[in-house]
Structure formats: structure tokens, C-alpha cells
Amino acid sequence: TQACLSEIDRADALGAFVHKTPEIALQQAAAADARIQGGAENPMCGVPIGIKDLFCTQGVPSQAASRILEGFKPEYESTVTTQLWQAGAIMLGKLNMDEFAMGSSNETSCYGNVVNPWRRGNDETQLTPGGSSGGSASAVAADLCLAATGTDTGGSIRQPAAFTGITGLKPTYGRCSRWGIVAFASSLDQAGPMTKTVRDAAIMLRAMAGHDPKDSTSADLPVPDFEAAITGDIRGRTIGIPKEYRMEGMPAEIEKLWSDGADMLRDAGAKIVDISLPHTKYALPAYYVIAPAEASSNLARYDGVRFGRRAKLAEGDGITEMYEKTRAEGFGAEVQRRVMIGTYVLSAGFYDAYYNRARKVRTLIKRDFEDAFDDGVDAILTPATPSAAFGLGEMADADPVQMYLNDVFTVTVNLAGLPGISVPAGLDGQGLPLGLQLIGRPWEEGDLLNIAQTVE
Ligand code: GLN
């Protein structure tokens, strides 16, 4: 813990930690030490980790990287972090992220960007760690902590994991409680581990997962020993390669990563089959209707009355001006864009044309996966991202749709509620890490982790 705390202080320039909690960390470390002396067996006991700022942590600033939550210190602790502390994990602090988890480069944060510890060869250009869990990814990749929590609504664990050469797992929807995690799009949000290895992800997921009566969508299912499922034996397993993910203009190195991944699985005894997920091309548009729709509803609570910041009012301003000024000052440009898109697609005249249409598309996407699993596929292999990490500022100034295209391989998994993992699987021509994604059957994270370890 002490080593991590001093590394964190040395690495301020990365911008990964937005709030450090050394007192809590040292106290928890002393308690963990005593538990370990007493023979504690939980493998999370004594492990120093970072927490994405989206998680409410009692008495510790929890701002979702938004100005609108300035000064907000929750009086409660999220279920996932509560379980981690019960397992003996140690909180080093809160990690930077895109504002309200909206973004793919960590550049929408009110705290400023995060720097990816990786560089393109000798080129000193600073790169994004991806987003929205950019602080988590950078902190783990730079060895500031042994692991971190992330959340994934459309790829926010898997894309930053791929950009920083670490492992990121989005569990099945309902595996981890969403209680106490600031809501972005409630039907898509899931918390998950961001770790150095697949085995670490299995260990951390076990501590994070489980039924919680405070989240009506959390599944009442036993939490298996995911680590025990990692046997290294994948003989006879069937891995599907979906042809719709072979996008036009895909860089040759991403194609190569993908076919090398398939070769590794084949060499380990798996059967590789071509499959079709015909509705894939509608996933991104459906996601960018459903996620903003839910966000516009979830973010209605930030009104200057109940949480965080309230704008300074002028003489004669009434409650409407108070709402308007607070939300105009408190929300950044990307969040405002999402709220506007969301309220538009939910408005009486457009509800059927956009929101309901997107929900139908979502069902079709889910069925594509169900059909593949019914045909005997155990997991699906795709690239995690369409490129390696890009330069800071390179995309932020472009058309927002360019940024949204980063999520092309990841959003399908959230729409279908499935578990997905990004595993570091190689380097591009400039020495940057690339990630492979494996998508598994619902509730079969153990099996997914076992298969993923083959390409690690
Ligand atoms: N990049 C996607 C978005 O901006 C996904 C974000 C996420 O998974 N939280 O919506």
C-alpha cells in the first residue's frame, strides 16, 4: 500500500487519481495485515486498488467527474465497493473518468484528461488511455495500483483496457449490483474489474459480484469461484468468428491480431467456426438512442436542489432560472448533447420512431447472440477496438460521431446483456497494445475467463 501511495504521488502528471485517500488506505492496510496474520484466506485481502469516480464512496468525494456534483460526499457506500472492503481490499483513491461515463477518451472529465503511460515508439505524443474508465486503465497500466474498478455501458471497461494493455471484464448484466453507482444508462451499466491478468479479474469479480436486494436488476444467483474455472483446458470448445465484425477499412494489424487470436485458440484445441450476427450494423445507432434516452432521465435529478452544485443566481431569478443555470454550468458539452438527444428521442412525437425502434433492434441483436449460442458456440472472438490508442485531442475536436465509432465492437455486448472481456493480445507496428474481445454466454464468466486466458 505504501509503495502504491508513493507511486501515485510520483505519477500526478498522468491525471489518473482525482482524489487520494492515503489515511483510509493505511487504516485498511493495517486491518488487512491483522486479518492476514490471523489466517485470512480471501485473495483480495490486502490488495490496494483504485475506484472509478462513478462509485459512491462514503465521506469521500464522488463526482462522476462532473462539475455538477462538486462538493458531493455520499453518506453511503456502493454495494460493490462495500463488498470489496469486506473482502479486505484497500482503497487508494478515486479515479478519473469521462463525465458521467460518457466518452471514449477520458477527455470529457471536469478534472481534465488522463495520459496513457504507453507511447508510439520514440514519439513523445501523449495518447489517450481510452474511456470512460480512463483513470482506472492508466493507473493499473502504470502500476499505481494492483487493480481498479470500472464500469461499462457501451465499452468503458473493455476499450480503455485494450488501449493500455490490461485486462477488462464486463460481467453479465445483473452480476454486480448497480446500487450506489451513479447511473448513466441503467439497462446497460455494469461494474467490472480492470486488472493486470485474467486470473486477477476472476479473483476481483468474485468479490464484486452477488445478489443485492437494493438493485432490482441484480441476479439472485450464486457467485461461483471464477478462478477455479481457469483450468487452461479449452479442448473441444467452439469459438465463433462473426463475419459482420470484419468492418470495411479495418487496419491490417487489427485483422492480424484477430486471426492470430483465432490461431492461438485453435492450437489450444478449440474449434473455430464462422458465424453471423446479422443485426450488428444497427448496434451503434440503437445504442446511441437508448443510452442517451436513459441518461436524460437519470440525469434529471441533478437540478441544483438535491446534490452538489447550485449556480449563483441573479436578482429576480426564479426556480426555472436556477435549474437552467445550474445545469448549463454544471454539465459539460458531451453530457448536454446526450441529454438533448435523449429527451428528443423520448418526446411524444418521436418516441415510436426512435426509442421504440431502437428497443426492437436491441431485441434482434440479443437474438443474434442467442442463435449463435444455441448453435453450440461457447464464446465469440472479435477485436476489442477498431484501432490502438489515439493521440490526446486527436478525436475530441472532431465530429462526435467519430468518437462514437470507437464503440463499434463493444456496444453489442451491453445491448445483449452478455459478459465480455478485453485481453491484451499483442502490439501494433508502433509498439502500442491491442486487445482482443471474447464474448461469453450469460452467467458463464468462469468459462469466458478460462477461454480468455488462452489468448492473454
Ligand atoms: N463510449 C461509450 C459512450 O460514450 C460507452 C461509455 C460507457 O461504457 N460508459 O457512451
So what's the ipTM on this one? 0.97
Q: How many domains does the chain have?
A: 1
Alpha helix segments (H runs only) across 268-399: 283-298, 319-330, 333-346, 357-374
Say how many Å lie between the CA of residue 104 and the centre of ligand 1: 6
Predicted local confidence at residue 303, as pLDDT:
94
Q: For residue 233, give Cα distances in angstroms to 22, 92, 448.
A: 41, 36, 12
Range of the domain at 38: 2-229+388-455
Tell me whether residue 34 is in a domain: yes
Say how many Å lie between the CA of residue 363 and the centre of ligand 1: 20
Per-residue model confidence as pLDDT tens digits over 354-366: 999 999 999 999 9
* Residue found by looking up cell 484477430 in the block: 258
Question: Could you give the CA distance from residue 362 to residue 379 in angstroms, rounded to a whole number?
Answer: 20
Predicted local confidence at residue 253, as pLDDT:
95
Cα 228–chain centre separation: 24
Predicted local confidence at residue 341, as pLDDT:
98
Predicted local confidence at residue 249, as pLDDT:
87
Predicted local confidence at residue 41, as pLDDT:
84
Predicted local confidence at residue 196, as pLDDT:
98
Per-residue model confidence as pLDDT tens digits over 124-161: 999 999 999 999 999 999 999 999 999 999 999 999 99
Tell me whether residue 245 is in a domain: no
Q: Name the grid cell of 39.
A: 489466517
Please state whether the peptide bond connecting residue 132 to the residue before it is cis, i.e. omega within 30 degrees of 0.
yes
Tell me whether residue 324 is in a domain: no
- Give residue 423's identity as a one-letter amino acid code: V
Using pLDDT thresholds of 50, 70 and 90, give the confidence band for residue 248: confident
Question: Could you give the CA distance from residue 362 to residue 356 in angstroms, rounded to a whole number?
Answer: 10
Question: Could you give the CA distance from residue 287 to residue 347 in angstroms, rounded to a whole number?
Answer: 17
Per-residue model confidence as pLDDT tens digits over 47-65: 999 999 999 999 999 999 9
Using pLDDT thresholds of 50, 70 and 90, give the confidence band for residue 399: confident
Q: Is the pLDDT assigned to residue 5 strictly greater than 90? A: yes
Tell me whether residue 97 is in a domain: yes
* Active-site residue (options: 132, 133, 136, 422): 132
Predicted local confidence at residue 56, as pLDDT:
98
- Give residue 339's identity as a one-letter amino acid code: V
Average per-residue pLDDT for the chain: 97
Q: Using a cut of 0.90, tell me whether the model's pTM lies above it.
A: yes
Per-residue model confidence as pLDDT tens digits over 411-448: 999 999 999 999 999 999 999 999 999 999 999 999 99
**Binding pocket residue ranges, ligand 1, CB within 6 Å:** 101-104, 132, 152-156, 184, 291, 407
Q: Name the grid cell of 83.
A: 463488498
Q: Is the pLDDT assigned to residue 307 strictly greater than 90? A: no
Q: For residue 168, give Cα distances in angstroms to 65, 137, 330, 374.
A: 21, 9, 30, 26
Respond yes or no: is residue 52 known to be catalytic. Answer: yes
Question: Could you give the CA distance from residue 419 to residue 440 in angstroms, rounded to a whole number?
Answer: 6
Residue 147 belongs to a domain with what CATH number? 3.90.1300.10
Tell me whether residue 205 is in a domain: yes
* Residue found by looking up cell 451503434 in the block: 284
Question: Could you give the CA distance from residue 262 to residue 243 in angstroms, rounded to a whole number?
Answer: 13
